[in-house]
Structure 1
């Protein structure tokens, strides 16, 4: 089917609040089923198809078949029964009956309406107000499949949500008071009745296209990703095609090419850490970038969103699944590029346990060496390996079981060990970092040597997986907390570490919880992993001063 652009603009907006510019997006699609072509001021536009008559169109769209007489007069049609295919007819909106409609919430995260949280499945009526706050997002869908995504930092109002009573086309106006929207209009290419996005300086009327509108205190912008526009500000008028955009400020328009999309550097296909750093090549002329993580490439289900002045962003989350990284560049006018995308998969659960002992780099007496780690809530069992090389090519111990403390006889030498969680369905999580320790043949009656039997130094040694080097290089650190209750309301210890280990004064016997988070330099932004449980008890020594477990099989740490 052929695609034909109709660049149409109206010199009169009809409402004093919307001054400065009026843009109508073109790109109406020729379709055998229907040819609704959007709005132009106070008129609905329809492109005539073979077999159409004024009577049939009046019956389909207007408040009665007698409306054909008005159509004939308004459009100067000689023969109401013989219409030239391709003719663009104007139908007054005040003669098109409409009925109330609703916007369907298809995705919502940390967004509110009238002080109430938005949730997927809700329906919003006309005059609804939406606030996404600093970290929220929402995507709305209308009856014809049109979707509008409202990212973080935005306040919008649904000033009109209706539908043509007889044709089922939408009649929607969205007011952007602050922030941004991205719309995909009439994705099924069946045409649109009226769909407008307005800011205090800009009105965007749309027909079958994709675009972004942004409002700030000083200016408004529209970046055209698909379709074609005609723009007017004062006496200025310009034709704007896809790949270009306009800035409206002080009643004037500035037209410019959209900045190039960033070229994303390699990112891991499988992510097994709560945070990772995404980087991309600098874009000439860009003054900033926006990075988002979404459930879909269309960026309608945002799970993270941030702006950056440099070509990189730290992205964090705690839910397994398939995601798309979406990055846009921003120029000095505030216009945004097409999106660069990269899919990736997150698999964090079941999480690697925090390892307790043997502690990394410590020395232990030969004989029975105790291995201990925290309890992971998502784990049914654990895999533990001990090897003489960091590659674990030929482990000397491979154990699968539910215990979180085991003892193994080891000869003198240098060893590495690691552990991972196994879910009830057999799914395995990532391995913990490999920890290196030494075993020496020290007689039981020998004078203790510094660094030997580190488990008896009165400290709780907790180890966690290292941050990715590029994440640490950006300034990220690990925050570790120990508490006696899972809410962490009053942590016993709260430490920011540049490494992978914390030595905490051992608390009295009891049940404790430990968690780590990625600290990006702002306490509210710390992304914590799920807490893991530690049962602190006591060991008694045997004749070789090796620890012997007492209690009911839970994790017991040396005094």
Structure 2
């Protein structure tokens, strides 16, 4: 059963319990440079090379050169000086001297040993206990380059961490009490001494190979990616080569070819959004997929994962860096494919500035349009673009700026703009969201003029014609100002109306000026009609200072 998992840049390969069928791995023969061939029970296995003798092998591996006699007897060798190249020689482990060794932590996240947090660079001795949190992970490295990765929700003990005293080969046993472990054994191809992973019901004896083991309460699986393993469940035994896997359940083995690796669709080389959406074509026979993000070429520092029943995942995070997307297919038996990989780079910093203006959906007057955004602390400068399409395929304006404000001329039309931060080293962060705004031409004859009437209520009542449908649809309103001089530096009244009338408190007697304008929401860009002069005294006069009355009220007429 494939479960959905939260996609974050932190996590690994799901939780499992290693209980179930008994599986024994072994039997992988490397090239001529890999004569040490691992373990089989209580024996160390060695593949004979040209020029080997029992005496020099005893001197190299055993506690005494006299051990050649035991080797001759146990391996039924007629002539200790003439060994058949390619034949298998067994050396008892109890006659091989070992020295204490350590496991080095090469990657750790939300993991502890003995209650203390683990960190990269730490060394763990034999008998160390390791616990990973729900989103934790640890990768350990041994002296020969062997690595074991422990995913979330696991409890692991280093039962034995030693090395052959004279050959430098490892002698390691890892006990998984709960969870999972994935191993890449002897990646340098120099052979392996003894490397075993055990669980309450599972023993994995590896002889230089790369494989994955997973187990549920009743079922265990092994997917062999390199080399060859020998498996045993109950009384059944099978040798499994790379490209195949086995499911063990109730003492029975079921062998099958591994599912094909997914063929990843194109993903961008540079990702500048918090989440990466990865897709691929469905794989025949796959019932699910597992995706992860690795921070290293060895794919042991996994910083995100997600399981999915469909050929797509979304992985999210907020750390810049170079990553590798890793995706595997999972078939109905639980066997997993070789990994499909794709490198990519995440760059989310410097962060995109918060935009101030033009605001999304607003309308502005044609001519000089002001652009502004918030300052970003680690930005040395900024890039700003304006385009007539949301794709920014052919920007009308491309401006590199050191300040957070600039003004650019724009003609009437619908526009999009965006801005990004540029670090001092020239690296660019992600673009801000593209904001759509509109620019309108507002000719002088589009601005209504007001007629003013002095009412019996002691107030002035201004009236004007309605705005054009285009201006009204853009959200424009009419602004009315009354001031004591033509500069309107300190208006006595400043009223914005969505209709075509406004009421202004009647000022003291004197000479005043009134004007109307089209307001698009930005006071600095209001287009005003020519001011008109009015006299306010015992009467309200027109421009010729003649009183005008209607219905007992003084009237003010336009110039």
TM > 0.5: yes
Match of 1:125 in 2: 125
Distance 1:63 1:249, change over 3 A: same
CA contact 1:201–1:219 (8 Å) conserved in 2:
no
Distance 2:283 2:318 in 1: 30
Distance 2:187 2:148 in 1: 12
Distance 1:127 1:449, change over 3 A: farther
Aligned pairs for 1:198-213 (under 5 A) are: 198-213=198-213
Match of 1:383 in 2: 383
CA contact 2:20–2:217 (8 Å) conserved in 1:
no
Match of 2:355 in 1: 355
- Aligned residues: CA RMSD: 3.0
Distance 2:158 2:301 in 1: 20
Instruction: After superposition, give the CA deviation of every residue in 1:35-66 in whole Å (9 maximum; x if it has no partner).
Output: 11111100111122232222222221111222
CA contact 1:20–1:202 (8 Å) conserved in 2:
yes
CA contact 1:276–1:315 (8 Å) conserved in 2:
yes
Instruction: After superposition, give the CA deviation of every residue in 1:93-134 in whole Å (9 maximum; x if it has no partner).
Output: 111111111111222233332333222211111122223323
Instruction: After superposition, give the CA deviation of every residue in 1:172-231 in whole Å (9 maximum; x if it has no partner).
Output: 112223332222111221111001122333222111211011233332221111112222
How far is the alpha carbon of 1:309 from its aligned partner?
Answer: 1.7
How far is the alpha carbon of 1:243 from its aligned partner?
Answer: 1.5
Equivalent residues, number: 446
Distance 1:227 1:542, change over 3 A: closer
Match of 2:267 in 1: 267
Distance 2:343 2:401 in 1: 35
Distance 1:389 1:30, change over 3 A: closer
Distance 1:71 1:211, change over 3 A: same
- Structure 2, unaligned stretches of length 5 or more? 1-17, 450-463, 480-520, 529-559
Distance 1:235 1:418, change over 3 A: closer
Aligned pairs for 1:499-538 (under 5 A) are: none
CA contact 2:272–2:430 (8 Å) conserved in 1:
yes
Match of 2:458 in 1: none
Match of 2:482 in 1: none
Instruction: After superposition, give the CA deviation of every residue in 1:300-329 in whole Å (9 maximum; x if it has no partner).
Output: 121211211222111112223322211111
Match of 1:86 in 2: 86
Match of 2:52 in 1: 52
1:371 counterpart SS class: strand
CA contact 1:259–1:285 (8 Å) conserved in 2:
yes
CA contact 1:297–1:326 (8 Å) conserved in 2:
no
Instruction: After superposition, give the CA deviation of every residue in 1:405-450 in whole Å (9 maximum; x if it has no partner).
Output: 3445555443332212111112223333432212332759899968
Distance 2:354 2:188 in 1: 50
Distance 1:383 1:182 in 2: 46
Distance 1:308 1:443, change over 3 A: same
Distance 1:444 1:121 in 2: 76
Aligned pairs for 1:231-270 (under 5 A) are: 231-270=231-270
1:25 counterpart SS class: coil
Match of 2:173 in 1: 173
How far is the alpha carbon of 1:92 from its aligned partner?
Answer: 0.9
CA contact 2:388–2:414 (8 Å) conserved in 1:
yes
Match of 2:96 in 1: 96
- Structure 1, unaligned stretches of length 5 or more? 1-16, 457-538, 547-559
2:25 counterpart SS class: strand
Distance 1:395 1:252, change over 3 A: closer
TM-score calculated relative to the size of structure 1:
0.73
1:133 counterpart SS class: strand
| Greater relative CO, 1 or 2 (CA 8 Å, sep 6+) | 2
Match of 2:364 in 1: 364
Match of 2:108 in 1: 108
Larger CA Rg, structure 1 vs 2: 2
Match of 2:339 in 1: 339
Distance 1:66 1:444 in 2: 114
Matched, 1:31 2:32: yes
1:66 counterpart SS class: helix
Distance 1:175 1:417 in 2: 58
Instruction: After superposition, give the CA deviation of every residue in 1:490-525 in whole Å (9 maximum; x if it has no partner).
Output: xxxxxxxxxxxxxxxxxxxxxxxxxxxxxxxxxxxx
Distance 1:416 1:43 in 2: 73
Match of 1:327 in 2: 327
Distance 1:216 1:20, change over 3 A: closer
CA contact 2:19–2:220 (8 Å) conserved in 1:
no
Distance 2:395 2:262 in 1: 44
Distance 2:199 2:377 in 1: 48
CA contact 2:365–2:525 (8 Å) conserved in 1:
no
